[in-house]
Amino acid sequence: MAQVQGGQPIIILREGTTQTRGREALGNNIAAAKAVANAVRSTLGPLGMDKMLVSGIGDIVITNDGATIVDEMDIEHPAAKMMVEIAKTQDQEAGDGTTTAVVLAAELLTRAEALVGDEVHPTVIAAGYRLAADRAAALLAELARPVTPSDTALLYRIAMTAMTGKGAEVAMDQFAAMVVKAVGMVVDEDGTVDPENVKVEKKVGGSFDDSVLVEGVVLAKERVHPGMPKRVENARVLLLNTPIEYKKTESKATIKITAAGQEQAFLDADQRMSREMAEKVLATGANVVFSQKGIDDLAQHYLAKAGILAVRRLKTSDLKRIARATGARILTTLDDIQPENLGCAGLVEERVMAADEVVVIEQCQNPRAVTILLHGGTEHVVDELERAIHDAIRVVGIVVEDGKYVVGGGAPEIALARSLRDYATTIGGREQLAVEAFANALEVIPRTIAENAGLDQIDALVALRAAHDSGCATAGVDVRTGEAVDMEAAGVVEPLRVKTQAISSATEAAVMILRIDDVIAGSKSQMPEGGPGGMGDY
């Protein structure tokens, strides 16, 4: 980049730095965003297609989950990376609707590019888009309908909608029932649902029908000692965040033996410490021990001799789930353990599943953490099934939290587009053009759903508009016939938050890209000045 001073150009950027300005910069950014959207667009809807993603080391992922696709893609372009952030945010906040958010953002940019070509300034377009997004959020709140945690039939339909078109579709009834039951068991007293309390454990082998909901926790672990019992009924569970082994020195230490018997005395002291720690565990009355840290060999021997089943080196998340399921407290010391610190479970058992040992904790009195155990014929099948179940758990959880849902099938987008066109006439000025563009962009969702089902986009859109004009605000695309049908009656429903978050994220990303009028790309150097951690390229 050069600034002219008295007829003399002044270079202020390093050699090799490139600069793109104005419409060229905007066009490049929009093209990159559209490229990402085109990569996931064909996955949208119940009849969307899958993508095969192959990494540089040969790992294969087969999925139609938008968040997974963009996350696995090796993207360099900065604007394209912003589209990836849209998908990640949508997945974190709503659990579903990632493809909708990405496709909508790209369509908003496409419409904006046409307005820029008609000499509408990007700032005006951004202002109009924000007005339209705010109005759309208010309209969605009016379209939303209430749902309660006790309405299991409606929650079941929401779970079914989330899994439609994904790997779980072959046994959707079974999995939807599991998800609704699981979420109902982990709801906190304040009405919130933490999806981490529904653990999904994958096992390659068997069929979909072998998948079960365990009202407790399944650990991909085994007993620490073969002499321990495999099955403990009426378990009294002790959870430890401290090792059952003597403490090793933090620094390197050397022990000098200067007299006969000192070596044996040292070994005896080690054994005594391990025995004392094991005796503290025995004194608690526990017959099952789960430790996040280690359990040394001698302590294992004493515990096995006492008939205690012990598992070590658990993840923090697993320890917390066991605490929720059994009512036990996680302890950081072996001293002064009270009976009320122990948890209860009807059964703790080591089993073999798909040739692997697992420890199952079940028959808990009030399990507030559960496990869905998935089976499938191949690793790829089970992975995609897990992603579908994750989406279903998340959407059922957020609809329980929010208590609001809307219909799917492109119906909300058509209703919003129709209302926004009327709203645009009340604004005036050039912002009106942006609001109308926003309304037209929303229709990309039903058009894409129809396209991916092999239907004519125009015919489907005309049918939907006619149905909404006649007063059916819940009319959406029937992907098998192309007709406009009542999505409420068809059972195609989804959480309100999925739609509001998708529109919000797409609008924010589109506005941010629209406001960029200058792209300065630094030259790539082998090593910044000053070595690693230097100041970079500028």
Give me the active site residues, please. Answer: 65, 98-99, 391
Beta strands in 224-319, from DSSP E residues, in sequence order: 231-240, 288-291, 309-311
Q: What is the largest CA-CA distance in the chain?
A: 101
Q: Which of 347, 333, 246 is nearest to 287 (CA)?
A: 347
The answer for residues whose C-beta is within 8 angstroms of residue 340's C-beta and 6 or more apart is 329
Q: How many CB atoms lie within 10 A of CB 470?
A: 9
- In 2-78 the beta strands, taken as DSSP E runs, fall at 2-5, 8-11, 18-21, 51-54, 60-63
CA 16 to CA 11: how far, in whole Å? 12
CA distance 498 to 401: 13
One DSSP character per residue, 182-250 reads: HHHHH--TTS---GGGEEEEEEESS-GGG-EEESSEEES---SSTTS-SEEEEEEEEEESS-BSPPPPS
Strands 60-63 and 51-54, by their bridges, are antiparallel
Are β-strands 404-407 and 493-495 bridged in parallel, bridged antiparallel, or unpaired?
A: antiparallel
**C-alpha to C-alpha distances, 389 to 95, 182, 406, 443, nearest whole angstrom:** 10, 11, 20, 28
Dist CA 480 CA 454 (whole Å): 9
The answer to whether residues 251 and 329 touch, using CB atoms and an 8 Å cutoff, is no
Which residues does residue 524 pair with via DSSP β-bridges, in sequence order? none
Residue 241 CB burial class (10 angstroms; 0-12, 13-18, ≥19):
middle
Phi, psi values for residue 81, rounded to 5°: -65, -30
Tokens 């608690």, residue located: 284
